[in-house]
């Protein structure tokens, strides 16, 4: 199979896409292909299989049905391959798979978080059932329908709230001293697949959660909006924790940066190379940074690998997942699907991805540290990181990264890498002092050790107040659940 991606104009709709597509995800790299009739595969082996099905379904004392036997036989055949990406999906499983790719689910439209205080609402989605019913951020969920929420079942709250579309769910919350009982319908909810922010310094930020059917169109529209700004200086693409999606979506995103080149090479069981090409793409003459981590997989690795091979972007973070195989989806007669590994893919320069991943150009550990360092490289000069319970924002932009901090010994301790990133400092462990040396170019090193440094589990935390005294440009305000860290421009 050969695929060519030509850069689309904004007027082109998803209906104009290629009739054959591949999905590339942590659990799938798939192409939808019509399955030939069973007779095309008729053989002595298939005849024997049918005979066994007939005998067992008509003679076995258990009364087992042919459908149940067929499902068991398919599962056994698939399991015998020892391939986690080849699988059989019934109609319901296939629907769930498609929904996960598009980030769709049936619920009320809230994002919840777990803290020592209980399960609280972090975000209420716009135009959702939850918004209409009156749920608000910071409400603490204490009951769902007739089930009281306890520490033992708190992890199951999302399961209690979601359910069949157009059925009602009653959620009881605490809002301060007030107890509210609110009933609302469950409806289809679509989570965003691309989010963006435009930061001071002319830095565009694009967070891609999934390579769904329209994510490339959203990506391109936002990018064109950035390009229309006179002060646009650099771009950050965040692919961390993105498990993949449609190959064509990754291809069209790549066409914003790459002209007339190979996107990936695919290698079949016979060793045949079927390149996937980009035709009529564009370039972006600005610095581009791509954030990846160990959960960036498949389509994320395709995009990151191509931008890295063509030296279009600096890849930063940690080594990616290493999902470099291609699956095809075969539609069966009853609407079920068979997903089969058919190819391995390589980067444009022929680097393998499967079980290897993409090695970043700049290795950075820790989510918040990764984000702050890359934003600084991209041109952001000043930072304000705020934490309200588990909701974290960076320069007003809500992020998925946590702000690792603890309160112990009457002090507030913050992860050493985060503080170093805010100060624009290089971090160096000094074993003889059981502390760290922080180095800012052109300034004397600062050593924090003894009572100013503390191991929390496997990670080094620093006394935030002592750090701020050593680095006047860094400000620390508030407590553990209401925390603000600021950093002025590093000179």
Containing 245, the helix (H) or strand (E) segment is strand 244-246
Q: Whose CA is closest to 279, among 3, 18, 6, 9?
A: 6
- Comparing 101 with 181, the larger pLDDT belongs to 181
DSSP annotation of 9 reads P
Q: Which residues pair with 86 in a beta bridge?
A: none
Per-residue pLDDT, 5: 56
Catalytic residue among 7, 267, 323, 339: 323
Residue ranges making up the domain that contains 183:
106-190
Residue corresponding to tokens 């996937």: 276
pLDDT score of 361: 98
Answer yes or no: are the C-beta atoms of 111 and 119 closer than 8 Å.
no
> Same structural domain for residues 355 and 209?
yes
- Tell whether 449 and 396 lie within a shared domain: yes
In this structure, are 313 and 390 located in the same domain? no
User: Are 314 and 289 within 8 A, CB to CB?
Assistant: yes
Mark whether 399 and 256 lie in a shared domain. Answer: no
Report CA-CA distances (Å) from 452 to 74, 314, 360, 447.
61, 35, 32, 9
Residue 436: pLDDT band with limits 50, 70, 90? very high
Considering the domain architecture, whether residues 181 and 210 belong to the same structural domain is answered as no
Residue 72 lies inside a defined structural domain of this protein: no
CA dihedral angle for residue 342, residue 346, residue 348, residue 350, rounded to 10 degrees = -130
Same domain membership, residue 359 and residue 236? yes
Residues 206 and 354 in one domain: yes
Asked whether residue 273 falls in the same domain as residue 200, the answer is yes
Residue 94 has pLDDT above 60, yes or no: yes
CB of 464 closer than 8 Å to CB of 420 = no
Overall residue count recorded for the chain in this entry? 491
Q: List all residues 6 or more positions away from 74 whose beta carbon is below 8 Å from its beta carbon.
A: 88, 338
**Any bridge partners for residue 172, and if so which?**
143, 181
Strand segments (E) across 311-417: 314-317, 325-331, 337-346, 362-363, 383-388, 391-394, 397-399, 405-408, 411-415
CATH number at residue 144: 2.30.42.10
Tokens of 279: 């035709």
CATH code, domain carrying 281: 3.90.226.10
What are the tokens at 354?
């499967």
Q: How confident is the model at residue 205 (pLDDT cuts 50, 70, 90)?
A: very high
In a domain, 288, yes or no: yes
> Is 298 noted as a catalytic residue in this protein?
yes
Give CA–CA dist 144/150, Å, rounded.
Answer: 11
Would residue 39 show up in a list of annotated catalytic residues for this protein? no
Give per-residue burial for 306-330: e unless 16+ CB within 10 Å, then b. Answer: bbbbbebbbbbbbebbbbbbbbbbb
Residue 471 lies in a domain: yes
Whether 388 and 467 share a structural domain: yes
Same domain, 198 and 166: no
Instruction: Give a yes or no: residue 90 inside a domain.
Output: no
Strands 168-175 and 3-6: unpaired
Give per-residue pLDDT as tens, 97-121.
Answer: 877 767 778 899 998 988 777 899 9
Q: Is residue 20 part of a domain?
A: no
Residue 274 domain-assigned (yes or no) = yes
307, 337, 363: which is the final residue of a domain? 363
Give a yes or no: residue 395 inside a domain. Answer: yes
Catalytic residue among 234, 255, 296, 298: 298
Task: Using alpha carbons, list the distances in angstroms from residue 407 to 118, 413, 415, 456, 462.
Answer: 19, 6, 12, 11, 11
From 130, 163, 190, give the residue that closes a domain: 190
Among 157, 190, 223, identify where a domain stops: 190
Q: How far apart are CA 476 and CA 338, in angstroms?
A: 55
Q: Is the pTM of this model over 0.85?
A: no
237-273 pLDDT, tens digit per residue, is 999 999 998 888 999 999 999 999 999 999 988 988 9
Determine whether 309 is an active site residue. Answer: yes
Smallest Cα–Cα separation from 161: which of 178, 184, 180?
Answer: 184
Q: How many domains does the chain have?
A: 3
The pLDDT of residue 97 is: 80
Q: Look up tokens 């620093």; give the residue.
A: 462
Secondary structure of residue 435 in the 3-state scheme: strand
pLDDT digits (tens, 9 = 90+) for 108-166: 999 898 877 789 998 898 889 999 999 998 899 999 999 999 988 998 999 999 999 99
- Per the residue annotation, which of 309, 401, 463, 470 is the catalytic one? 309
DSSP readout, 436-475? EEEE-TTS--EEE-GGGEEEETTEEEEEHHHHHHH-TTEE
pLDDT at 58: 93
Q: Do residue 315 and residue 428 come from a single domain? A: no
Residues 224 and 154 grouped into a single domain: no
Evaluate whether residue 93 is within a structural domain: no
Q: Which of 61, 55, 89, 91 is nearest to 74 (CA)?
A: 89
């Amino acid at each position: 199979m050969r695929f060519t991606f030509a850069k689309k104009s904004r007027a082109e709709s998803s209906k104009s896409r290629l009739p054959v597509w591949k999905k590339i995800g942590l659990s799938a790299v798939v192409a939808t292909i019509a399955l030939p009739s069973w007779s095309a595969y008729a053989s002595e082996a298939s005849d024997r299989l049918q005979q066994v099905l007939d005998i067992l379904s008509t003679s076995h004392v258990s009364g087992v049905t042919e459908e149940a036997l067929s499902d068991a036989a398919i599962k056994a055949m698939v399991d015998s391959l020892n391939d986690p990406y080849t699988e059989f999906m019934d109609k319901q499983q296939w629907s769930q798979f498609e929904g996960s790719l598009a980030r769709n689910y049936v619920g009320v439209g809230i994002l919840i978080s777990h803290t020592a205080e209980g399960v609280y609402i972090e975000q209420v989605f716009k135009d959702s059932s939850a918004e209409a019913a009156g749920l608000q951020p910071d409400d603490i969920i204490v009951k769902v329908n007739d089930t009281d929420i306890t520490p033992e079942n708190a992890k199951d709250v999302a399961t209690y709230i979601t359910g069949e579309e157009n059925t009602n769910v009653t959620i009881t919350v605490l809002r301060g001293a007030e107890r509210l009982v609110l009933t609302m319908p469950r409806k289809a909810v679509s989570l965003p697949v691309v989010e963006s922010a435009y930061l001071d310094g002319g830095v565009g930020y694009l967070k891609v959660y999934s390579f769904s059917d329209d994510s490339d169109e959203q990506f391109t529209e936002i990018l064109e909006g950035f390009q229309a700004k006179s002060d646009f200086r650099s771009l950050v693409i965040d692919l961390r924790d993105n498990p993949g999606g449609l190959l064509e979506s990754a291809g069209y995103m790549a066409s914003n940066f790459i002209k007339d080149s190979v996107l990936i090479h695919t290698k079949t069981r016979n060793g045949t190379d079927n390149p996937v090409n980009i035709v009529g793409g564009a370039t972006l003459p600005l610095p581009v940074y791509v954030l990846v981590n160990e959960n960036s997989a498949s389509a994320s690795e395709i995009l990151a690998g191509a931008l890295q091979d063509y030296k279009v972007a600096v890849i930063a973070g940690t080594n990616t997942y290493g999902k470099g195989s291609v699956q095809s989806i075969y539609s069966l007669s009853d609407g079920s699907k068979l997903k089969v590994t058919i190819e391995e893919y390589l980067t444009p320069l022929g680097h393998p991805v499967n079980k290897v991943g993409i090695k970043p150009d700049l290795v950075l550990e820790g989510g918040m540290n990764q984000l702050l360092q890359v934003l600084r490289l991209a041109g952001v000069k000043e930072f304000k990181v705020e934490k309200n319970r588990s909701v974290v924002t960076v320069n007003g932009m809500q992020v998925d990264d946590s702000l690792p901090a603890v309160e112990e010994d009457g002090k507030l301790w913050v992860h050493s890498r985060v503080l170093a990133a805010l100060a624009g400092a290089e971090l160096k462990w000094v074993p003889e002092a059981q502390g760290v040396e922080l180095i800012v170019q052109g300034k004397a090193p600062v050593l924090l050790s003894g009572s100013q440094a503390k191991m929390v589990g496997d990670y080094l935390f620093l006394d935030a107040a002592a750090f701020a005294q050593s680095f006047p440009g860094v400000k620390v305000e508030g407590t553990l659940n209401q925390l603000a860290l600021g950093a002025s421009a590093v000179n």
